[in-house]
Amino acid sequence: MELIYTFLKALVIVPLTLLPIINPLSGAPVFTATAGSDPQVAQRMARQVAINCWFVLVVSMLVGTYVLDVFGISLPIVRIGGGLLVAAAGWRMLNSQDDDSVRQAVAHSQVPESSEADIVRRSFFPITFPLTTGPGSIAAAIALGAKAPTTPALYVVGAFVAVLGCAITAGVIYLVYKHAATLLARLGEVGTLVMMRLVAFILLCIGIEIMWTGWAELNHLKP
Protein backbone atom coordinates (compact mmCIF):
# COMPACT_ATOMS: atom_id res chain seq x y z
CA MET A 1 0.00 0.00 0.00
CA GLU A 2 2.84 2.38 0.79
CA LEU A 3 4.35 1.79 -2.66
CA ILE A 4 1.00 2.50 -4.33
CA TYR A 5 0.57 5.67 -2.28
CA THR A 6 4.04 6.87 -3.26
CA PHE A 7 3.32 6.13 -6.92
CA LEU A 8 -0.02 7.99 -6.88
CA LYS A 9 1.51 10.93 -5.02
CA ALA A 10 4.31 11.22 -7.57
CA LEU A 11 1.75 10.92 -10.38
CA VAL A 12 -0.44 13.72 -9.01
CA ILE A 13 2.53 16.04 -8.43
CA VAL A 14 3.29 16.24 -12.16
CA PRO A 15 0.01 17.83 -13.38
CA LEU A 16 -0.39 19.85 -10.17
CA THR A 17 3.03 21.38 -10.76
CA LEU A 18 2.73 21.96 -14.51
CA LEU A 19 -0.89 23.04 -15.02
CA PRO A 20 -0.78 26.24 -12.92
CA ILE A 21 2.30 27.32 -14.88
CA ILE A 22 0.85 26.34 -18.26
CA ASN A 23 -2.62 27.83 -17.54
CA PRO A 24 -4.24 26.78 -20.85
CA LEU A 25 -7.17 29.14 -20.28
CA SER A 26 -4.87 32.09 -20.90
CA GLY A 27 -4.02 30.72 -24.35
CA ALA A 28 -7.63 30.19 -25.43
CA PRO A 29 -7.97 33.50 -27.36
CA VAL A 30 -4.77 32.96 -29.33
CA PHE A 31 -5.73 29.35 -30.03
CA THR A 32 -9.17 30.35 -31.35
CA ALA A 33 -7.69 33.13 -33.50
CA THR A 34 -5.29 30.57 -35.00
CA ALA A 35 -7.64 27.60 -35.40
CA GLY A 36 -10.90 29.46 -36.08
CA SER A 37 -14.23 28.45 -34.62
CA ASP A 38 -14.88 25.40 -36.83
CA PRO A 39 -15.27 22.57 -34.27
CA GLN A 40 -13.57 20.02 -36.53
CA VAL A 41 -10.48 22.15 -37.18
CA ALA A 42 -10.33 23.25 -33.53
CA GLN A 43 -10.52 19.64 -32.35
CA ARG A 44 -7.76 18.51 -34.71
CA MET A 45 -5.52 21.42 -33.75
CA ALA A 46 -6.24 20.95 -30.03
CA ARG A 47 -5.26 17.29 -30.36
CA GLN A 48 -2.05 18.23 -32.16
CA VAL A 49 -1.19 20.89 -29.57
CA ALA A 50 -1.77 18.36 -26.78
CA ILE A 51 0.51 15.85 -28.52
CA ASN A 52 3.19 18.51 -29.02
CA CYS A 53 2.95 19.54 -25.36
CA TRP A 54 3.20 15.93 -24.23
CA PHE A 55 6.41 15.43 -26.22
CA VAL A 56 7.93 18.69 -24.97
CA LEU A 57 7.17 17.92 -21.32
CA VAL A 58 8.25 14.27 -21.45
CA VAL A 59 11.54 15.08 -23.19
CA SER A 60 12.17 17.92 -20.73
CA MET A 61 11.56 15.65 -17.74
CA LEU A 62 13.54 12.66 -18.95
CA VAL A 63 16.51 14.15 -20.81
CA GLY A 64 16.37 17.88 -20.06
CA THR A 65 19.08 17.86 -17.40
CA TYR A 66 21.39 15.71 -19.56
CA VAL A 67 20.98 18.01 -22.57
CA LEU A 68 21.81 21.06 -20.47
CA ASP A 69 24.88 19.31 -19.08
CA VAL A 70 26.11 18.31 -22.55
CA PHE A 71 25.98 21.89 -23.84
CA GLY A 72 27.11 23.38 -20.54
CA ILE A 73 23.94 25.45 -20.20
CA SER A 74 22.63 26.32 -16.76
CA LEU A 75 18.94 26.51 -15.90
CA PRO A 76 19.10 30.28 -15.21
CA ILE A 77 20.39 30.83 -18.75
CA VAL A 78 17.46 28.80 -20.08
CA ARG A 79 15.09 31.01 -18.10
CA ILE A 80 16.67 34.21 -19.43
CA GLY A 81 16.61 33.08 -23.06
CA GLY A 82 13.15 31.59 -22.82
CA GLY A 83 11.80 34.60 -20.96
CA LEU A 84 13.11 36.86 -23.71
CA LEU A 85 11.28 34.75 -26.29
CA VAL A 86 8.03 34.86 -24.30
CA ALA A 87 8.31 38.64 -23.81
CA ALA A 88 8.95 39.13 -27.54
CA ALA A 89 5.86 37.06 -28.40
CA GLY A 90 3.75 39.11 -26.00
CA TRP A 91 5.11 42.36 -27.45
CA ARG A 92 4.25 41.25 -31.00
CA MET A 93 0.73 40.35 -29.89
CA LEU A 94 0.28 43.74 -28.23
CA ASN A 95 1.36 45.58 -31.37
CA SER A 96 -0.34 43.32 -33.91
CA GLN A 97 -2.96 44.73 -36.29
CA ASP A 98 -4.87 41.50 -36.82
CA ASP A 99 -8.13 42.52 -35.11
CA ASP A 100 -10.11 41.74 -38.27
CA SER A 101 -8.91 38.14 -38.29
CA VAL A 102 -9.89 37.79 -34.64
CA ARG A 103 -13.36 39.13 -35.39
CA GLN A 104 -13.73 36.64 -38.21
CA ALA A 105 -12.62 33.79 -35.96
CA VAL A 106 -15.33 34.69 -33.45
CA ALA A 107 -18.09 35.62 -35.90
CA HIS A 108 -17.85 32.75 -38.39
CA SER A 109 -18.43 29.09 -37.71
CA GLN A 110 -16.53 27.83 -40.77
CA VAL A 111 -12.94 28.31 -41.83
CA PRO A 112 -11.13 26.96 -44.90
CA GLU A 113 -10.23 23.30 -44.72
CA SER A 114 -6.75 22.79 -43.32
CA SER A 115 -4.45 19.91 -44.13
CA GLU A 116 -2.77 17.90 -41.41
CA ALA A 117 0.61 19.39 -42.36
CA ASP A 118 -0.81 22.91 -42.04
CA ILE A 119 -2.34 22.11 -38.65
CA VAL A 120 0.95 20.63 -37.40
CA ARG A 121 2.82 23.72 -38.59
CA ARG A 122 0.41 26.22 -37.03
CA SER A 123 -0.01 24.26 -33.81
CA PHE A 124 3.61 24.41 -32.73
CA PHE A 125 4.46 28.12 -32.84
CA PRO A 126 3.22 30.06 -31.01
CA ILE A 127 0.50 27.80 -29.55
CA THR A 128 2.63 24.93 -28.23
CA PHE A 129 5.75 27.03 -27.71
CA PRO A 130 6.04 29.47 -26.08
CA LEU A 131 2.34 30.08 -25.24
CA THR A 132 1.44 26.71 -23.69
CA THR A 133 4.69 24.93 -22.83
CA GLY A 134 7.00 27.88 -22.41
CA PRO A 135 10.25 28.27 -20.51
CA GLY A 136 8.46 28.25 -17.16
CA SER A 137 6.81 24.88 -17.69
CA ILE A 138 9.94 23.44 -19.34
CA ALA A 139 12.08 24.57 -16.41
CA ALA A 140 9.54 23.05 -14.00
CA ALA A 141 9.56 19.79 -15.97
CA ILE A 142 13.37 19.69 -15.93
CA ALA A 143 13.31 20.30 -12.19
CA LEU A 144 10.85 17.42 -11.70
CA GLY A 145 13.03 15.17 -13.85
CA ALA A 146 16.12 16.08 -11.85
CA LYS A 147 14.51 14.49 -8.79
CA ALA A 148 14.13 11.11 -10.53
CA PRO A 149 15.96 8.19 -8.86
CA THR A 150 19.12 6.90 -10.49
CA THR A 151 18.77 3.17 -9.81
CA PRO A 152 17.56 1.33 -12.96
CA ALA A 153 14.36 -0.15 -11.52
CA LEU A 154 13.23 3.03 -9.81
CA TYR A 155 14.20 5.08 -12.85
CA VAL A 156 11.86 3.00 -15.02
CA VAL A 157 9.04 3.62 -12.54
CA GLY A 158 9.88 7.32 -12.47
CA ALA A 159 9.86 7.46 -16.27
CA PHE A 160 6.45 5.78 -16.33
CA VAL A 161 5.15 8.33 -13.82
CA ALA A 162 6.54 11.15 -15.96
CA VAL A 163 4.92 9.81 -19.13
CA LEU A 164 1.56 9.26 -17.45
CA GLY A 165 1.61 12.56 -15.57
CA CYS A 166 2.41 14.46 -18.76
CA ALA A 167 -0.41 12.59 -20.50
CA ILE A 168 -2.86 13.83 -17.86
CA THR A 169 -1.54 17.36 -18.31
CA ALA A 170 -1.86 17.12 -22.09
CA GLY A 171 -5.41 15.79 -21.70
CA VAL A 172 -6.43 18.86 -19.73
CA ILE A 173 -4.82 21.11 -22.36
CA TYR A 174 -6.77 19.27 -25.09
CA LEU A 175 -10.11 19.69 -23.35
CA VAL A 176 -9.58 23.40 -22.68
CA TYR A 177 -8.48 24.20 -26.23
CA LYS A 178 -11.14 22.01 -27.79
CA HIS A 179 -13.88 24.10 -26.12
CA ALA A 180 -12.03 27.42 -26.36
CA ALA A 181 -14.34 28.72 -29.12
CA THR A 182 -17.42 28.13 -26.95
CA LEU A 183 -15.86 30.09 -24.12
CA LEU A 184 -14.91 32.98 -26.38
CA ALA A 185 -18.32 32.97 -28.09
CA ARG A 186 -19.87 33.72 -24.72
CA LEU A 187 -17.42 36.55 -24.23
CA GLY A 188 -18.41 38.13 -27.54
CA GLU A 189 -16.32 40.04 -30.08
CA VAL A 190 -15.35 42.92 -27.81
CA GLY A 191 -14.68 40.64 -24.85
CA THR A 192 -12.46 38.43 -26.99
CA LEU A 193 -10.41 41.38 -28.26
CA VAL A 194 -10.01 42.71 -24.73
CA MET A 195 -9.03 39.28 -23.45
CA MET A 196 -6.45 38.84 -26.23
CA ARG A 197 -4.81 42.16 -25.40
CA LEU A 198 -4.87 41.29 -21.71
CA VAL A 199 -3.31 37.90 -22.39
CA ALA A 200 -0.64 39.57 -24.54
CA PHE A 201 0.22 41.96 -21.72
CA ILE A 202 0.29 39.12 -19.18
CA LEU A 203 2.52 37.12 -21.54
CA LEU A 204 4.89 40.09 -21.77
CA CYS A 205 4.98 40.36 -17.97
CA ILE A 206 5.53 36.61 -17.60
CA GLY A 207 8.48 36.80 -19.99
CA ILE A 208 10.03 39.66 -18.01
CA GLU A 209 9.43 37.78 -14.75
CA ILE A 210 11.10 34.65 -16.13
CA MET A 211 14.10 36.68 -17.29
CA TRP A 212 14.33 38.42 -13.93
CA THR A 213 14.22 35.09 -12.08
CA GLY A 214 16.98 33.70 -14.29
CA TRP A 215 19.07 36.84 -13.84
CA ALA A 216 18.67 36.71 -10.04
CA GLU A 217 19.61 33.01 -9.97
CA LEU A 218 22.57 33.65 -12.25
CA ASN A 219 23.92 36.40 -10.00
CA HIS A 220 23.34 34.23 -6.94
CA LEU A 221 25.40 31.43 -8.53
CA LYS A 222 28.34 33.74 -9.19
CA PRO A 223 31.26 33.30 -6.77
- Listed range (46-55, 95-104, 106-115, 143-152) with the worst mean pLDDT: 106-115
> How confident is the model over 175-191, as pLDDT tens digits?
999 998 888 778 777 77
- pLDDT tens digits, 26-78: 788 788 888 876 888 899 999 999 999 999 999 999 998 888 888 888 878 87
Cα angle, residue 181 at apex, residues 180 and 182 outer, rounded to 5°: 90
42 Cβ contact list (under 8 Å, min separation 6): 31, 32, 35, 36, 177, 178, 180, 181
pLDDT tens digits, residue range 79-95? 787 778 777 777 877 88
Residue 105 has pLDDT above 50, yes or no: no
Spatial neighbors of 147 by CB under 8 A, at least 6 apart, are none
Write a three-state SS string for the chain. CHHHHHHHHHHHHHHHHHHHHHCHHHHHHHHHHHHCCCHHHHHHHHHHHHHHHHHHHHHHHHHHHHHHHHHCCCHHHHHHHHHHHHHHHHHHHHCCCCHHHHHHHHHCCCCCCCCHHHHHHHHHHHHHHHHHCCHHHHHHHHHHHHCCCCCHHHHHHHHHHHHHHHHHHHHHHHHHHHCHHHHHHHHHHHHHHHHHHHHHHHHHHHHHHHHHHHHHHHHHHCC
Structure confidence at residue 166 (pLDDT): 96
| Predicted local confidence at residue 221, as pLDDT | 63
Q: Residue 176: what pLDDT?
A: 93
Q: Quote the CA–CA distance of 86 and 84 in Å, as a whole number.
A: 5
Q: Give the domain extent around 180.
A: 2-221
Asked if the model's pLDDT at residue 103 lies above 70, the reply is no
The residue among 127, 116, 105 whose CA lies nearest residue 38 is 105
Q: Considering only 9-18, 63-72, 101-110, 113-122, which range has the smallest mean pLDDT?
A: 101-110
Give residue 114's pLDDT: 58
Number of separate domains in the chain: 1
Indicate if the pLDDT at residue 110 is higher than 80. no
pLDDT of residue 171: 97
Average pLDDT value for residue range 134-139: 81
* pLDDT confidence of residue 48: 95
What contacts 108, CB < 8 A, 6 or more positions away? 36, 37
More confident residue, 220 or 103: 220
Average of per-residue pLDDT values in the chain: 80
What's the pLDDT score for residue 29?
79
Per-residue confidence (pLDDT) for residue 167, from 0 to 100: 97
Output Rg (C-alpha) for the chain, integer angstroms.
19
